[in-house]
Amino acid sequence: MESQRLEYLRLTRIIDTPLEDRYEKYTRLLSRVFNCSFAAVSFVDQEREWFKSVRGAVVSEIQADRSFGKLVIESSDDIVQAQNSSLGLGHVIAFDQRPVWLVGTPILIGGVHRIGALYVGLDHDLAAREDQEVLKDMARSIKRELAQTLYHHITQDPIREAILC
Amino acid sequence: MLVAPLPANENERLADLRGLGILETPIEERFDRITRLVCRSLDVPISAVSLVEDDRQWFKSIQGLPVCETSRDVAFCAHAILNDEPFIVEDALLDPRFAENPLVTDDPKIRFYAGIPLSLGNGRNIGTLCAIDRVARTLSDDDIQTLRDLADMVTAELNTIAANETCVKLCAELEQAERAALIDPLTRVWNRRGAMTILEREVQRAERGQTPLTCALVDIDHFKRVNDEHGHDLGDEVLRQFAKTALSALRSTDILSRWGGEEFLILLPECSEPDAQIVLHRMLKKIRDLEFEGERNPFRITASIGMAAFADQQIEPIEAVLKEADRRLYAAKENGRDCIIAQGEHDAFANGALRAG
């Protein structure tokens, strides 16, 4: 399962790519919708959580152990919520802007493989179902961004379909 | 009222739009979630992906209004596509172009409109992503950026082929009018004839690829009661919401169709029965969570499902599998509703084992 996940992640060729506005817009939208200063789109391989887009912190990657992204991909829940205090983001967010809660949803490909996370930092947890749906909707749209790139470098239909379903 | 002039590149623009093969296709979750986000992030009651054809605007996705098209003459979007910049009408009553527009003077009583032109990257605008309100409003630069970002998401979807190969091919093969004949006008998902066409092709594909194919017949529980107690308009709204909600829970490769009345057929290609159960349970939960404003009191709905699989080794005749799904749907109803009956369980039910539910 983990090797399949890593293979899918590798196929997306997303990690270590330059800043792209089409991913920036998700963190912009999130900070707008949830009125929060911290929002991130990240992908998690064996060792690290790598940020494709991040707002409210200056960081490009962190060690995956104890990172929130890792927590999201290891969970089986659609919405993962955790207190931020012990999650390794402490040193990358300015102290006075440190959110109390991190709330995220997985970026899923191939139906079951959690390759990354979309999340926000809040001063409360996210209980309302509509709010959780917004987060999930955006994560599904991110898959479409991944798809746009995939069409250029994956030519075998079955693999593309497996990744996109 | 001022009818918008035609853009200089009208012919090329229409060719782009028709080339997409998207007109008269069923509603799709990937567009619905963007219009939901527009409503949510700008706090507006109405949002649409509007595609402007020669004599009408057709909504690929719309929130807040139960229509799928209007004439082009009255369309705000027909004005919005004339330029590449956001088109904003803060108060339609104060704008001579719109003050007497029937969409302003009568229902839905539009007062505020903001539309971002959509193009396929060549500057020819085929439609808009728009936000609409019934009160006058202004938009901040931040609001406009948000709407632009969401419009980019629409463009990304327009440029990506939908994930179900069979549907994409079918839509590409058919002329617009032929597609329209395969779509249910109320819920805007495939109709029974459309479903059969797709099913035949999916069965062939499953046979070729030796992959599983599962189908599910879904029936809304006590639907007649909804119509009787709350009227047919609300009954129609229940069907529409059911379709949208089901789509949002299904995988993007799954096919939803209206089989007739309050019955829907779902096809889950490359999906074994256990996997299909996971998807369908997720869907039933979302259906259960829906709330409707009734005549006197709010109410909720549930649905029952009968599932059947096309075995990957030896594909059975379509009619036989559908009949099996129908039998299990009946069993699910007998079993207390709001549940799924799959292979084996029907027989267990027949022995009385599941009656407890």
**Mean pLDDT within B251-258:** 88
B233, B66 Cβ separation under 8 angstroms: no
Tell me which chain A residues have a C-beta less than 8 angstroms from the C-beta of B161.
Answer: 151
Cα B236 to Cα A76, A118, B219, distances in angstroms: 36, 36, 14
| Architecture of domain B166-350 in this structure | 2-Layer Sandwich (3.30)
Q: Which residues of A touch B41 (CB under 8 A)?
A: 29, 32-33
Element (H, E) at B97: none
CATH 3.30.70.270 domain range(s) in chain B: 166-350
pLDDT of residue A157: 60
Contacts of residue A94, Cβ cutoff 8 Å, sequence gap at least 6: none
Residues of chain B with CATH 3.30.450.40: 10-160
Closest partner residue to B252 among A151, A157, A164, by Cβ?
A: A164
Report the pLDDT value the prediction gives residue B161, as an integer from 0 to 100. Answer: 63
Instruction: Encode pLDDT of A60-74 as tens digits.
Output: 888 888 789 999 999
Nearest neighbour of B160 by CB, restricted to A133, A144, A161: A144
Residues B274-326: tens digit of each pLDDT = 889 988 998 999 999 999 998 888 999 999 999 999 875 566 789 999 999 99
| CA nearest to B40 within chain A | A33
Residues of B within an 8 Å Cβ radius of A: 29-30, 33-34, 36-37, 40-41, 142, 145-146, 149-150, 152-153, 156-157, 159-161, 163, 165, 209, 251-253, 270, 275, 289
pLDDT digits (tens, 9 = 90+) for B161-172: 656 778 877 887
Distance, CA of B300 to CA of B238 (rounded, Å): 10
The pLDDT of B263-268, averaged and rounded, is: 97
Average pLDDT, chain A: 84
pLDDT at B142 over 80: yes
Q: Report the topology of domain B10-160.
A: Beta-Lactamase (3.30.450)
Digit-coded pLDDT (tens) for A79-104 = 999 887 656 665 666 666 677 889 99
pLDDT at B306: 97
Task: Answer whether the bond into residue B108 is a cis peptide, omega within 30°.
Answer: yes
Which among A24-33, A103-112, A156-165, B128-137 has the top mean pLDDT?
A: B128-137
> How many structural domains is chain A composed of?
1
Residue A77 is part of a domain; what is its CATH number? 3.30.450.40
Task: Give the tens place of pLDDT for each residue, B97-112.
Answer: 999 999 999 999 999 9
Our CA angle for A63, A69, A72, nearest 5°, is 140
**Which residues of chain A does B37 touch, with a Cβ-Cβ cutoff of 8 Å?**
29, 33, 134, 137-138
Q: Under an 8 A CB cutoff, do B153 and A137 touch?
A: no
pLDDT tens, residue by residue, B165-196: 788 778 878 887 888 899 898 998 999 999 99
Nearest to B33 among A141, A145, A148 (CB): A141
Give the DSSP letter of residue A97: G
Domain that holds residue A85: 2-164
Across the interface, of A33, A133, A164, the residue whose CB is closest to B41 is: A33
Q: What confidence score (pLDDT) does residue B173 get?
A: 84
